[in-house]
Every structure is written in C-alpha cells, then in structure tokens.
Amino acid sequence: MCSVFDSGIRYADFWGHRGFTHSLVFAALMAGVIVVLFRHGIAGMRSLVLWIYFFLVTASHGFLDAMTDGGLGVAFFSPFDNRRFFLPWTPVRVSPIGVSRFFSARGLAVLQSEVLWIWLPAILLAVAALVVRGQQTKSTHD
C-alpha cells in the first residue's frame, strides 16, 4: 500500500491518517500539555476549564472527520482499539489528499460541503455565544 504523504506510514497504521492523533486519548493528552504550558498565561481560566476547552477543540477534529463520506474512518479509541469508525451521519464530502487534487471540481464540492455542514453552523454557534455572553454582561452591569 502507498505511504501517506511519502512518510513511510501507511494510511491504516497507528500513526496513519485519522489514527492515534484523532483519538480521544490524544485529545486528552494534548489538552493536558496545553494546560501545563499555558496555566499561567491565560488570565481568569481555571486549569480544568482550560483542559475541557482544549479537549473538546481537539476531539472535535476527529468527530468532524468521522462525518465525512470517505476514507477508513477515525480511530477514536486508539491506542486501546485501533478500529476505525464513522458517525451514522456523514454529510461532509471527504477532501482529496494533495494540493493539485484539492484545486479541482471535486475540491470545490468539498469546500461547499464544509461551508454548509461545518463553517456555517460554527459561525452561528459563535454568534449565539457572543449574544448570550453580551446579555449576561449587560445584566451584571444593570
């Protein structure tokens, strides 16, 4: 089988595409590293809140990849179980690997799919959070 990105690592391997780095264990470890590195640099955020935030941010990448319609799936439970999974609902078109393939009609279809299913909901969620936060700030000042 061809190696991913000419690194010698096969797609389905532990370190392969959507492998360990997309797992929940990796998300927990990454969040822990960030908390240790930046525990003094983020004013007003407790370590647990910071850890939860970065865990969710990191884990969301795997969940978004599990919503795509191609590939081998995501190794959510690696290193304990290297099986790959998709979510039951896969509306996002899988992105082609490689710059030349991305800048094609298929790449445009992928971008349209990501705008509809990822970027638009993320923007709406961010705007809603800002509105709620603004209302909370206003009510504490009244």
Residues 76, 118 within the same domain: no
Is pTM, for the whole model, over 0.85?
A: no
Domain that holds residue 117: 95-142
Residues 100, 47 within the same domain: no
Query: Could you give the CA distance from residue 60 to residue 28 in angstroms, rounded to a whole number?
Result: 12
Could you report the average pLDDT of every consecutive run of 10 residues in the chain (142 residues)? 61 87 97 88 79 95 94 95 95 84 84 93 94 81 68
Helix (H) and strand (E) counts in the chain: 5, 0
Residues 37, 69 within the same domain: yes
